[in-house]
Structure 1
């Protein structure tokens, strides 16, 4: 079952906020629980609504979203926060990342990029939920979104961006699926999806199951593996 995501928007342009809400709620498992136009409103709603994800603008009427993010982190709030802003200067990006923003979208952006942001958030939550109170490096890398590879280099023919999309699609399904199903979700051929899924199996990020009961060869099904395999 797909993980539901409750989102708070902090955006002073009401038209932009409405467009972003419409884009987000194309996914039936995403719900925008609130929308704030100022830092003060955003802070109050974050405390009252306890959203899973906050999408935060930088330039707000009563201050900077970066200052609000810093305030949340200093208060111990660990909610995933992504900046969605026209602020494209390097200093804003560096400050956002330094204060724990997990993503940064520069306006204008595509609906696909916004969907990828939400998918990354879902993957982070799944990995965090699967991690014990103490973690090893493999599970920590998974939580941070670091793709494990052999000798630190991806094999020839494996594109890191496509690999991330396939891994996220597999994690979002919450069940065993075929290469064809993953290919349909990501926009890849069955053979290409199979190649990426096999790499994830070798990297310990996916588990291979076989479905029997039909004539001919058993079907290969792939399942997200949030924890590293036992040694």
Structure 2
């Protein structure tokens, strides 16, 4: 089972905040623990609730979300923060990334893109405090480094969709079916199966068969560990 993700929303538009909450909590392992409409509220809730993930707007009534992000980093808050905002200028994006935002979604965005953000957060989650050291493979995943892309992808395999499938598969804590990956990424079962089979052929995933009492065996996929 995936570890539970506790999310704090910092969004001054209450309607947008409700929509984002509904989208997030379609994932049973995601729980929105708080919602703030200002920088001051967001700062107080971040300190009190200690969420795993903060989704932050830029334009807030009492200041800029970018300023709040800078404040958090200056005071040692290392929580994953992603910007979800209508601010689409390059300067805002650069500042967000410079201050440690790990993702940036421009409104309006798709549910699939939000699921990709969650998948990226899952791959970045550090081990518990008992694991004081990281191996290079785990650190590379934390930093967002994947395997080098192949020189050419087969016909019908889109690189952006493939990346989303890889992220979703890597975030899974157990072997999953094509239907489960399709639901996470926003693909049909058949399309998800095609991408998963490509990952098996390229040795980025392993295939297992689960045999039941009757009928055809269920195909289960698991990300290949380095």
SS at match of 2:28: coil
- Between 1:46-55 and 1:138-147, the stretch displaced more is 138-147
1:115 corresponds to which residue?
A: 115
Cα separation, 2, equivalents of 1:132 and 1:13: 40
2:3 corresponds to which residue?
A: 3
Cα separation, 1, equivalents of 2:2 and 2:59: 33
Cα separation, 1, equivalents of 2:92 and 2:158: 29
1:193 corresponds to which residue?
A: 195
1:75 corresponds to which residue?
A: 75
Residue 199 of structure 1, CA deviation: 4.8
> Once the two structures are superposed, what CA deviation does each residue of 1:19-54 show, in whole Å capped at 9, x if it has no partner?
211222222221111111111111110010000110
Answer whether contact 2:200 2:206 (CA < 8 A) is retained: no
TM-score (structure 1 length as normaliser): 0.80
1:163 corresponds to which residue?
A: 162
SS at match of 1:129: coil
1:153 corresponds to which residue?
A: 150
Residue 174 of structure 1, CA deviation: 1.9
Q: CA RMSD in A?
A: 2.9
2:173 corresponds to which residue?
A: 174
Cα separation, 2, equivalents of 1:84 and 1:120: 15
Q: For residues 161 and 172 of structure 1, do their structure 2 counterparts lie closer, same or farther at Cα, with a shift above 3 Å needed?
A: same
SS at match of 2:8: strand
Q: Say whether residues 1:93 and 2:93 are aligned partners.
A: yes
Which stretches of structure 1, 4 residues or more, deviate above 6 A after TM superposition? 212-215
Answer whether contact 1:197 1:222 (CA < 8 A) is retained: no
* Runs (5+) with no aligned partner, structure 2: none
Answer whether contact 2:85 2:106 (CA < 8 A) is retained: yes
Cα separation, 2, equivalents of 1:118 and 1:184: 14
SS at match of 2:127: helix
SS at match of 2:88: coil
* Runs (5+) with no aligned partner, structure 1: none
Q: For residues 156 and 108 of structure 1, do their structure 2 counterparts lie closer, same or farther at Cα, with a shift above 3 Å needed?
A: closer
> Once the two structures are superposed, what CA deviation does each residue of 1:165-208 show, in whole Å capped at 9, x if it has no partner?
222332344212345654565425265134333156x24xx344
TM-score (structure 2 length as normaliser): 0.82
SS at match of 2:32: strand
